Homo-oligomer: A and B are copies of this chain.
Amino acid sequence: MGEKNSTLEKICDAFPFLRDAGKDVREDVTAHAQIARIPKGTFIFFEGDECKQLALVLSGSVRVYKPAESGREITLYRLGKGDSCVLTASCIFSRNPFPAIAYVEDDIEVAAVPSNVFRDWVNRFEVWRNYVFNLLSKRLSEVIATVEEVAFRRVDVRIAEFLLRLPRTNNDEIRMTHQDIAMELGTSREVVSRILKHFEDEKLIILSRGTITILNMGILTSKSEG
């Protein structure tokens, strides 16, 4: 019983609207959600032909990206705490193939719910319906923002922006290869190397194998706005 409560507590932490939800909603969650861990490197959604479980993400990170034949790829969005793969589920449900790939880049903890149970929740509870709508509109906004990025913005600006919102060590170091950045932004490794080299020439960063050290935040920031 104590364990059950801590499970619900964990889920409420990622899905705060459940705190204000009715007792029936919360009891259903307790009754059907199974906490599970999925290790880094796992590709989700494509295991079986159908997905019988829907994953509500409690922690960790899932990268959803689109690959090209050429080998290039681009990140569309990420799933984190409070997200879930309803979108994939809805694609699969409506028999459209989901047009992207998702994989776990940071071990995730999920509350797994059988698809038919989740469907039932959406049928019965408005809070779940609202959740799903909000999530879907958020996703669409993100992907539209990606369209704008690739169609209209310069790559140097996008790289500067990207570097600035990346986690850094206390020495302002970023551990990431040029290839990784290219795959994030949908460009090619050579282009990233070239532009980073320019940044280094301008004393904005220092490059070494596998790490980028940020020297001059200010100018880099102004670049990311230009």
A residues bordering B, Cβ < 8 Å?
Answer: 66, 68-70, 72, 74, 76, 87, 90-91, 93-94, 96, 99-100, 122-123, 126, 129-130, 133-134, 136-141, 143-148, 150-152, 186
Residue numbers in B under 8 Å from A74 (CB-CB): 147, 151-152
Chain B, Cβ-Cβ closest to A146: B147
- DSSP majority for the A interface? helix
Contact of A186 among B68, B91, B122, B152 (CB under 8 A): B152
Q: A99 contacts B144, CB within 8 Å?
A: yes
Q: B137 contacts A87, CB within 8 Å?
A: yes
Residue numbers in B under 8 Å from A126 (CB-CB): 123
User: In the complex, A151 Cα to B90 Cα: how many Å?
Assistant: 25
With A123-B126, A126-B123, A134-B94 known as contacts, the answer to whether A72 contacts B141 (CB < 8 A) is no
Residue numbers in B under 8 Å from A69 (CB-CB): 152
Q: B90 contacts A134, CB within 8 Å?
A: yes
Residue numbers in B under 8 Å from A186 (CB-CB): 147, 151-152
- State the Cβ distance, A215 to closest chain B Cβ, in Å: 29
Which of the listed residues A69, A141, A144 has the most CB atoms from chain B within 10 Å of its own CB? A144
Chain B, Cβ-Cβ closest to A97: B141
User: In the complex, A70 Cα to B154 Cα: how many Å?
Assistant: 12
- State the Cβ distance, A169 to closest chain B Cβ, in Å: 31
Residue numbers in B under 8 Å from A143 (CB-CB): 140, 143-144, 147
